[in-house]
Chains A and B, each alone.
Chain A
Amino acid sequence: MKRRVVITACSAITPIGYGKKNIVDSLQQGRSGVKPLRDDGLLTGHIHSRVFGTVDYPIAYEFTRSQRKTMGPVAYYACQVARDVLAESGLSPDFISSGRLGVAFGSTHGSPTVQREIYKTFFQNLETEFSSIGAVDYLRSMVHTTAVNITRMFGITGRVIASSTACTTSSQAIGFGYEMVKYGMQDAMLCGGADEYDTTTVAVFDNLLACSVGYNDRPECTPRPFDKKRDGLVVGEGGGAVLLEEYEAARKRGATILAEVIGFACNNNGGDLILPNLQGITATLRLALTDAGINAEEVDYICAHATATKMGDIIESQAIEAVYGTGPHVTGLKSYTGHTMGTCGVIELIMTLYMMADGFLAPTLNLEEVDPRCGMVRHTPGVIAAKTKIASVQNFAFGGVNTCLLVKNGREAL
Chain B
Amino acid sequence: MTRDDLQEKILTILVQDFEFQQPGLDDNLRDDHGFDSIDAIELLGKIERILGVPLTREEKEKAMEIRTINDILDYLEAIQQGRAQ
Contacts and interface: CB of A to CB of B under 8 A. Distances in A.
Q: How would you classify the secondary structure of chain A's contact residues: helix, strand, loop or mixed?
A: loop
Contact of A136 (B19, B42, B44, B54): B42
Interface stretch (B45-53, B61-69, B75-83): B45-53
A69 B39 CA distance: 9
Contacts of B49: 130
Given A65-B18, A66-B34, A134 B54 contact: no
A139 interface: yes
B19 A129 contact: no
B38 A69 contact: yes
Interface residues of A, number: 13
Contact of A135 (B18, B38, B48): B38
Interface string B28-46: 0000001000110110110
Given A65-B18, A65-B19, A66-B34, A129 B42 contact: no
A131 interface: yes
Nearest to A139: B38
Given A66-B34, A129-B53, A129-B54, A134 B19 contact: no
Interface string A45-72: 0000000000000000000111001100
B54 A130 contact: yes
Query: Which range holds the interface residue count of chain B?
Result: 10 to 19
B42 to A, nearest CB: 5
Contacts of A64: 19
Given A131-B44, A131-B48, A134-B45, A70 B38 contact: yes
Contacts of A131: 44-45, 48, 54
A243 to B, nearest CB: 28
A125 to B, nearest CB: 13
B6 to A, nearest CB: 18
19 contacts: A64-B19, A65-B18, A65-B19, A69-B38, A69-B39, A69-B42, A129-B53, A129-B54, A130-B45, A130-B54, A131-B44, A131-B48, A134-B42, A135-B38, A135-B39, A135-B41, A135-B42, A135-B45, A136-B42
Interface of A: 64-66, 69-70, 129-132, 134-136, 139
Given A135-B38, A135-B39, 18 more contacts: A65-B18, A65-B19, A69-B38, A69-B39, A69-B42, A70-B38, A129-B48, A129-B53, A130-B48, A130-B49, A130-B54, A131-B44, A131-B54, A132-B45, A134-B45, A135-B41, A135-B45, A136-B38
Interface of B: 18-19, 34, 38-39, 41-42, 44-45, 48-49, 53-54
